[in-house]
Structure 1
């Protein structure tokens, strides 16, 4: 029986709009990788001229970063990565496009190995494969089971309350335990905060698309800026205590898992997914997270 294009589109499990969001997210991943490498170089050069940031980068070091061309160019590339990521969120569900940032991990690992002239060992390659494979499995299942839903006022209030709690917990941990922080702690903290940044960005885009901009949307913007600011500071500290591919590994795993967790639990983007999909999500998440910890332990440049 002959099917026209309309009938064929109806049979496809993936919304045609998602086909636009996926390549935009992949382009953003490339800029994320390049920006991370350049920012890492800038942080290392600043630290080489100042004291070590055992308790986090101080104000003088942050100011010196603005004078490093590599750091500034890297920041601009990260800005482009954000633009492409936000554009992808306008077309596809959060749990489809957010995990695609894992592509940046592979690019960053190759770039860092060439720049630092330090070859990755076998354990590191296995760890990276676990990160990318876990996230790849996650996004494959999500692409066939996720649906995009409008964000209700109750959803938004719930997200803002959770974010406020996380800001207090993460900020408090840094204030009291910063002298004991290593790269993995900064990476996890930044990944959690950036997961909320992606979620809030999706919420804002969704409300704008539905002409529903109110005081809650303003609070959403404030929360996004707070999470992005603290998360960005954590990333710079992670660069000072770990290689860029480890930083990207953490961000491209923790960030999407947090964002996707909110998308599933709060926004209901996987409400129509079958039971086997939930099992696949859990297995994929565990594989990816374990890969991050293995990379932190066995990476040749890890302290």
Structure 2
């Protein structure tokens, strides 16, 4: 028995210092859930007093959000969520702490059901279970196989080039097709962009910690801000056309899968993982993403 436990411990690649990132990420998820609920309330109130949101929030509506106490308070909660998330990234690999935000999905679903007095139906519960279960499997496998890898200049340039293409694609799509957008597009867009934000934040934190703040790091900051601003705008539009738990479902599934995908493909954080881990990652990711689409289809708070 002792030998078995020793062998199991040897398989876990997270050291005690990296494990600190896990509770920090969980605290961040709590603030994320609260922030989403309050921001959603603020956006709905602004929408009710204006002409509504048919092709994206305009400048006047964005300014009106600043006058809504619920939205401002929600923004402060999200700010705290970001602080805890970034701090967790300073301790542990992206592939481990980033998916833990799925805890926010369960909290937000419960809060929204109580606030809106619209109980979750069976389809929604199954969808949420798929999201959380898929992400949970992902984290479990990652905890046993992921390693924290340094980001080289070549890795960073690759990430920035891909981000530039993503920003251009989403910008063009929003410019020409926004009148046809529904909540799911904004959720997917925000999730993808926030995945890059998490990755670049990890790079900036690491390089700053070791005094390696060069011109490439500065470009990372610019890319991080650009992705964060556009992602934040997409989130506000998603709140105007979908319930907060659907928005959080997209963010806490798409965001980590993008960040983890970068960690796997570009950074090689699973380069030492066995073949079965790769299969598990694909299955877990597919289940989680399918759960998001099912939630968008069956959520009782959406008119069809």
Q: TM-score range by the shorter chain?
A: over 0.9
Please report how far the alpha carbon of residue 52 of structure 1 lies from its aligned counterpart in structure 2 after TM superposition. 1.3
Please report how far the alpha carbon of residue 11 of structure 1 lies from its aligned counterpart in structure 2 after TM superposition. 7.1
2 CA distance for matches of 1:247 and 1:88? 22
**For residues 175-201 of structure 1, what are the alpha-carbon distances to aligned partners after superposition, in whole Å with 9 as ceiling and x for unaligned?**
010000000000000000000000000
Distance change >3 Å, CA 274–CA 149, structure 1 → 2: same
* Number of the residue aligned with 1:71: 71
* Number of the residue aligned with 1:219: 219
**Is 1:265–2:265 an aligned residue pair?**
yes
Distance change >3 Å, CA 103–CA 215, structure 1 → 2: same
C-alpha contact (below 8 Å) 1:149/1:268 kept by paired residues = yes
Unaligned runs of 5+ in 1: none
2 CA distance for matches of 1:141 and 1:80? 28
* Number of the residue aligned with 1:117: 117
* Number of the residue aligned with 1:58: 58
2 CA distance for matches of 1:85 and 1:252? 12
2 CA distance for matches of 1:108 and 1:75? 15
C-alpha contact (below 8 Å) 2:13/2:146 kept by paired residues = no
C-alpha contact (below 8 Å) 1:24/1:88 kept by paired residues = yes
> RMSD of aligned C-alpha atoms?
1.6
C-alpha contact (below 8 Å) 2:12/2:145 kept by paired residues = no
**For residues 89-131 of structure 1, what are the alpha-carbon distances to aligned partners after superposition, in whole Å with 9 as ceiling and x for unaligned?**
0000000000000000000000000000000000000000000
* Number of the residue aligned with 1:80: 80
2 CA distance for matches of 1:186 and 1:214? 33
* Number of the residue aligned with 1:35: 35
1 CA distance for matches of 2:270 and 2:8? 23
* Number of the residue aligned with 2:166: 166
1 CA distance for matches of 2:48 and 2:100? 34
2 CA distance for matches of 1:93 and 1:59? 38
C-alpha contact (below 8 Å) 2:12/2:144 kept by paired residues = no
2 CA distance for matches of 1:10 and 1:276? 18
For residues 248-287 of structure 1, what are the structure 2 equivalents within 5 Å? 248-287=248-287
**Is 1:132–2:132 an aligned residue pair?**
yes
Please report how far the alpha carbon of residue 14 of structure 1 lies from its aligned counterpart in structure 2 after TM superposition. 2.5
Task: State the secondary structure of the residue aligned to 1:17.
Answer: helix
**For residues 221-243 of structure 1, what are the alpha-carbon distances to aligned partners after superposition, in whole Å with 9 as ceiling and x for unaligned?**
00000000000000000000000
**For residues 19-61 of structure 1, what are the alpha-carbon distances to aligned partners after superposition, in whole Å with 9 as ceiling and x for unaligned?**
1000000000000000000000000000000011110001110
- Runs of 4 or more, structure 1, over 2 Å off, are 7-14
Distance change >3 Å, CA 8–CA 291, structure 1 → 2: closer
1 CA distance for matches of 2:258 and 2:53? 28
Distance change >3 Å, CA 165–CA 8, structure 1 → 2: closer
C-alpha contact (below 8 Å) 1:93/1:147 kept by paired residues = yes
C-alpha contact (below 8 Å) 1:151/1:207 kept by paired residues = no
Please report how far the alpha carbon of residue 212 of structure 1 lies from its aligned counterpart in structure 2 after TM superposition. 1.4
Please report how far the alpha carbon of residue 10 of structure 1 lies from its aligned counterpart in structure 2 after TM superposition. 6.3
Task: State the secondary structure of the residue aligned to 1:150.
Answer: coil
* Number of the residue aligned with 1:142: 142
Distance change >3 Å, CA 260–CA 8, structure 1 → 2: closer
* Number of the residue aligned with 1:89: 89
* Number of the residue aligned with 2:206: 206
Aligned residues: 300
